[in-house]
Amino acid sequence: MASEILEVLFRDLPVGVLIWKLHDPDDVTSLRLVSANAFACELMGVDLVTKVGQTMVQIFPATTQLRLEMYADAARSGQAIDLERLSYADDRVRVVTYSVSAIPLPDHCVAAVFESFRATDEAARELRDMSGFLDSIVENIPAMIFVKDAEGLRFRRINRAGEALLGIDRRELVGKTDYDFFPRDQADAFTEKDREVLRGRAVVEILEEPVKTPTGERWLHTRKIPVFASSGEARYLLGISQDITERREAQTALQRAHEELELRVVERTRELAATNAALKLQIEEGQRTAEALREREEQLRQAQRMEAVGRLAGGIAHDFNNLLSVTISYATLFLEDFTTDDPRRADAEAILSAGLRAAELTRQLLAFSRQQMLAPKILDLNTIIAQIDKMIRRIVGEDIDVTTRLAAKLDRVRVDPGQIEQVVMNLIVNARDAMPKGGKLTIETGNVVLDESWAEAHEGATVGPQVMLAITDTGVGMDAVTRARVFEPFFTTKEVGKGTGLGLSTVFGIVKQSGGSIYVYSEVGVGTGFKIYFPRAEGTPEERPERPSVAPGGDETILLVEDESRVRALARTILTRLGYTVLEAANLEQALKVFDAEPTIDLLLTDVVMPHGTGRDLAHRLQAKRPELPVLFMSGYTDDTVVRHGVLEEGVAFVQKPLTPGLLAVKVREALDRGTASVAQDER
């Protein structure tokens, strides 16, 4: 009777029970199935009764060595063991979550008791939806993402970007290791780093590494991350790699250009030395003349060298703008969608931070090359200094005494207020770094008149009434060699990693593009002074408009014209989220067809530089049909017909790349609210 009761209980228990026997105490693989109740079969979705006598590995091929050891320990020791909580989707598309306990029985037997917690179709749908969402993100991120299993480091997944980067069909990658595709030495290095990640149980960042692919060598910036099972063991290795080949090539090209310029300067200097020697032999007075000539020649060479490097730097910055628009904006959109506790938020923030740092670098390169977009206004330099006075004192610290000598009734200048603030802050930071033990910093403004003799002695000076801004420190100072190169891009006297060498070159570019001139005076052990001169301007100072705190939207219809598909898709996503209806075109001809077919277009948003016709050409033709049509231009270039020398024409609405969701939202709303900004006028 007792055995019958036990048999009924075993058969009808509302928990799954599997009984295993360890036939050989020294061999964990000898665990064989003795019996299984109906609930276990239902729970596992397998007819386990037909599997009696088979080993655990035969029935469940994915069983790990760790799980075999835990069951065997329970059978040998007589101690119950609680295993981890598990989840799986069965062939009926249900999600089943259960906990497992290993209970010892006589004769080296052990009962595995499974207690189900959840099995719902809704959970399955939720899992599929989330899986699809994650798949979409992984497949569309412009970086290689791959997954390897921890045991054999075999590829389990790789996204489209990785397939394109490696030049290998991802269907061939799955199930294989690095040794199947890469040279032995490279595969050894990859495998060693992967094992280090899995052993160390921490993120490992590889700043730069070369990868030999069938399409050639590429340079990658890689993060490798261990992924753990609920049991605590490392199950997978996740890798995220960014292709930095183009950036390295650009850096190499820039370095080569710099070296070539240096060589040309040396050759030109030798030629001038020979000329001066001949002049000294001809006339005694020639020494003074030769000195003056040499100084002017040196100034000319310096200007030519900086102009050449500036053009190269500006070109590199332009090429990054479209890529940065996509990177920064999609990272921003991801952050808007992620909750504060979403584990993906940290990765999105890292992408956004890197994009913003890159954007700042491109802005500095454009500023140095005098291709940064300026929005000049009539203003008082004294007001600018007063507005940032507290920030200046906070930056320099308490051990530096700051003195301001601002001239009364200072003349006005016409400059971009934001760019001038950057000029002042860069010079302040430079002065602070030159006084590590403290000192005195003086900021001075004044009205001056520069005559022809002064202009002849100072390259780039303008004759006439000027407004002077001077920043002087009592720091370590500079010798003549350093002083001659102080405005060169990437030149710095700071330790590696503590300066980009773009601060003073950015100052130089902004001042020159604003129509001013800048000079440095310095002596070792005494200090350094920078003097900036801007031409006097007539007019009343303009107030700086406040930007809205929340990105505005609307329900108008916008014709978006952009030949770069990724940037076009990005702008469409941003504008659609803001409520606008977006019609797209990749070039001028497509835009004309869309415009003729849709009479309710409220705004033309167009790139400036496109094949087969510019954005300005398109605006001319559309405004000829509808003169009241507002136009908003966007571009990463400033040397085109919409701007003159980096300065916006009066009444032209413009947004400079890289695009960001907030910037594009504000500029579109301003253009719609302001109405027509006609470009259908004669070229100046």
Predicted confidence at residue 239, as pLDDT, reads: 87
Six token digits for residue 397: 């610290």
Predicted confidence at residue 449, as pLDDT, reads: 92
Q: How far is CA 437 from CA 540, 577, 602, in A?
A: 42, 52, 60
Return the percentage of the chain with pLDDT > 90, whole number: 21
CATH number of this structure's domain 247-368, picked from the four choices 3.10.105.10, 3.40.50.300, 1.10.287.130, 3.40.640.10 = 1.10.287.130
Average pLDDT over residues 21-49: 85
Which residues is 55 bridged to in the sheet? Answer: 32
In contact, 197 and 182? CB cutoff 8 Å: no
Six token digits for residue 116: 């189900």
Q: Which of 83-92, 506-515, 599-608 has the lowest mean pLDDT?
A: 83-92
Average pLDDT over residues 556-567: 91
Rounded distance between C-alpha atoms, residue 55 and residue 16, angstroms: 18
Predicted confidence at residue 616, as pLDDT, reads: 87
Average pLDDT over residues 657-671: 86
Predicted confidence at residue 279, as pLDDT, reads: 60
Q: Residue 228: pLDDT above 70?
A: yes
Q: Highest mean pLDDT range out of 214-218, 282-286, 306-310, 673-677? A: 214-218
Predicted confidence at residue 75, as pLDDT, reads: 81
CATH architecture of 377-535: 2-Layer Sandwich (3.30)
Predicted confidence at residue 300, as pLDDT, reads: 62
Closest CA to 684 of 653, 650, 646: 650
CATH number of this structure's domain 557-674, picked from the four choices 3.40.50.1980, 3.40.50.1000, 3.40.50.2300, 3.40.50.300 = 3.40.50.2300
Q: Give the list of residues 6+ apart from residue 275 with CB closer than 8 angstroms, or none.
A: 290
Q: Which of 148-152, 283-287, 291-295 has the lowest mean pLDDT?
A: 283-287
Per CATH, which fold does 2-120 belong to? Beta-Lactamase (3.30.450)
Closest CA to 247 of 218, 270, 286, 226: 218
Which residue type is seen at 271?
A: E
Average pLDDT over residues 73-91: 62
Confidence bin at 413 (pLDDT 50/70/90): very high
What is the value of pTM for the model shown?
Answer: 0.42
Q: Residue 496: pLDDT above 60?
A: no
Predicted confidence at residue 680, as pLDDT, reads: 39
Predicted confidence at residue 94, as pLDDT, reads: 41
Six token digits for residue 152: 């054999």
Per CATH, which fold does 141-243 belong to? Beta-Lactamase (3.30.450)
Average pLDDT over residues 481-507: 69
Q: Which of 57-61, 125-129, 256-260, 581-585 has the lowest mean pLDDT?
A: 125-129
- Paired sense of beta strands 603-607 and 581-585, if any: unpaired
Looking at per-residue confidence, does 273 or 353 come out higher? 273
Average pLDDT over residues 505-531: 88
Predicted confidence at residue 131, as pLDDT, reads: 55
- pLDDT, one tens digit per residue, over 468-483 is 999 999 999 988 888 8
Predicted confidence at residue 656, as pLDDT, reads: 77
Rounded distance between C-alpha atoms, residue 627 and residue 621, angstroms: 10
Q: Average model confidence (pLDDT) for the chain?
A: 78
Six token digits for residue 459: 């390259």
Average pLDDT over residues 286-294: 62
Q: Which of 199-208, 362-371, 625-634 has the lowest mean pLDDT?
A: 362-371
Confidence bin at 165 (pLDDT 50/70/90): confident
Confidence bin at 267 (pLDDT 50/70/90): confident
Predicted confidence at residue 679, as pLDDT, reads: 47
Average pLDDT over residues 368-385: 74
Average pLDDT over residues 57-71: 83
DSSP structure string for 302-333:
HHHHHHHHHHHHHHHHHHHHHHHHHHHHHHHH
Please report, for the chain, the start and end positions of each structural domain, with discontinuous segments joined by +: 2-120, 141-243, 247-368, 377-535, 557-674
Q: Residue 602: pLDDT above 90?
A: yes
Burial class (CB in 10 A: 0-12, 13-18, 19+), 154: middle
Q: Residue 201: pLDDT above 60?
A: yes
Rg from Cα positions in the chain: 35
* Same-fold call for 2-120 versus 377-535: no
Q: How far is CA 565 from the centre of its chain?
A: 19
